[in-house]
């Protein structure tokens, strides 16, 4: 039986490939795509999500959600993703958004689902946190929460913090406190998914489908990471999706995790205790290593199956 999932995202170049991968994979039944402002503002992320879903030919509903974090101001990341979130690549206009607000829809799906639902969060966690804080009992209907978020060492938006965690640390704290298993694909993991021009060329050779070629066009706009020595661009968000599809590509470690909510330079830092130094409850799993060639083969192979 496929895993029942809600995909919460903020497309975003890497989100674009994650959305396509999820919709191309029979292991997952994507009940809804919910959208927040994150990499760019909600106007752009919602348009991009709608366009990506329509590009696949699927009728998965797309819902608008939060346009700002629970506290503080919204900040985008146009230096990586471009002003529109997908590097200026033009996609056909997607179907209109489904009626309803993301947090309300998440609660409804959890309430009505016959089996527990996995929440995949690959943007700021605002929509997921709003759903679980307004009806906390629904956490019992959550199978697990799989996030691309955090870092156990250095951040990428500040020296301390990864972008998704930093964008809404209070929302991430809600998820960590809800009592359900939380899986982290951190920056240390996604640094192993380093996309080079050779990887993109290999994907292009797998077929001429519009989804595959759009994914390649989008990824080709992403600048090489200065943080990683300019060798390529880390493909963050698809790691969270791939873990549900082919967990054998990863190694993982139980750990305790919390997030810095202070106002200082450490705000948004994820304090991931991989060696149980604190003795805190093990409330998370951190993905540690990735079979990168297998990961890239998975993405290329699945996207080549789409139209």
Are the C-beta atoms of 19 and 13 separated by less than 8 Å?
Answer: no
Whole-number Å distance between alpha carbons of 146 and 205: 31
Full residue range of the structural domain in which residue 146 is found:
3-303
Are the C-beta atoms of 149 and 162 separated by less than 8 Å?
Answer: yes
Please list the pLDDT of the chain residue by residue as tens digits (307 residues).
999 999 999 999 999 999 999 999 999 999 999 999 998 999 999 999 999 999 999 999 999 999 999 999 999 888 889 999 999 999 999 999 999 999 999 999 999 999 999 999 999 999 999 999 999 999 999 999 999 999 999 999 999 999 999 999 999 999 999 999 999 999 999 999 999 999 999 999 999 999 999 999 999 999 999 999 999 999 999 999 999 999 999 999 999 999 999 999 999 999 999 999 999 999 999 999 999 999 999 999 999 999 9
Residue 259's pLDDT is what? 98
Residue 263's pLDDT is what? 94
E-strand stretches of the chain? 3-9, 28-35, 62-64, 117-121, 142-148, 182-185, 194-195, 233-234, 250-259, 270-273, 284-290
Residue 79's pLDDT is what? 83
Q: Does 236 participate in catalysis according to the annotation? A: yes
Structural domain count, the chain: 1
What CA dihedral angle connects 298, 48, 155 and 228, to 10 degrees?
A: 50
HEC string of 195-264 equals ECHHHHHHHHCCCCCHHHHHHHHHHHCCCCCCCCCCCCEECCCHHHHHHHHCHHHEEEEEEEEEECCCCC
Is pTM beyond 0.85? Reply is: yes
Residue 134's pLDDT is what? 96
CATH number of the domain that 59 lies in? Answer: 3.90.245.10
Both tokens of 213, joined, read 């070629």
Both tokens of 93, joined, read 């206009």
Note the maximum CA span of the chain. Answer: 52
Catalytic residue among 236, 258, 269, 302: 236
Tokens 């390529």: give the residue: 232
């Amino acid at each position: 039986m496929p895993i029942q999932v809600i995909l919460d995202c903020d497309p975003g170049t890497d989100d674009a490939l994650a959305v396509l991968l999820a919709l191309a994979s029979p292991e997952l039944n994507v009940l809804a795509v919910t959208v927040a402002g994150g990499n760019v503002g909600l106007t752009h992320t919602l348009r991009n999500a709608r366009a990506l879903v329509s590009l696949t030919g699927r009728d998965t509903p797309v819902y608008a959600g939060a346009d700002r974090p629970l506290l503080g101001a919204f900040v985008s990341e146009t230096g990586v993703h471009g002003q529109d979130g997908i590097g200026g690549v033009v996609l056909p206009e997607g179907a209109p958004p489904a009626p309803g607000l993301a947090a309300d829809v998440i609660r409804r799906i959890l309430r009505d689902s016959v089996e527990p639902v996995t929440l995949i969060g690959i943007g700021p966690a605002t929509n997921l946190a709003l759903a679980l804080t307004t009806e906390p009992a629904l956490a019992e209907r959550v199978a697990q929460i799989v996030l691309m978020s955090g870092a156990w060492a250095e951040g990428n938006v500040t020296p301390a913090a990864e972008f998704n965690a930093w964008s809404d640390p209070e929302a991430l704290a809600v998820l960590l406190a809800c009592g359900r298993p939380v899986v982290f694909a951190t920056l240390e993991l996604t640094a192993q998914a380093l996309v080079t021009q050779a990887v993109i060329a290999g994907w292009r050779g797998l077929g001429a489908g519009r989804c595959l070629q759009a994914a390649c066009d989008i990824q080709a706009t992403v600048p090489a990471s200065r943080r990683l020595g300019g060798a390529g661009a880390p493909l963050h968000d698809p790691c969270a999706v791939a873990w549900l599809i082919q967990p054998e590509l990863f190694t993982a470690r139980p750990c305790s995790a919390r997030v810095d909510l202070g106002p200082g330079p450490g705000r948004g830092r994820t304090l991931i205790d991989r060696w149980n130094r604190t003795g805190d409850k093990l409330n998370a799993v951190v993905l540690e290593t990735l079979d990168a060639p297998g990961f890239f083969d998975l993405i290329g192979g699945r996207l080549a199956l789409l139209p």
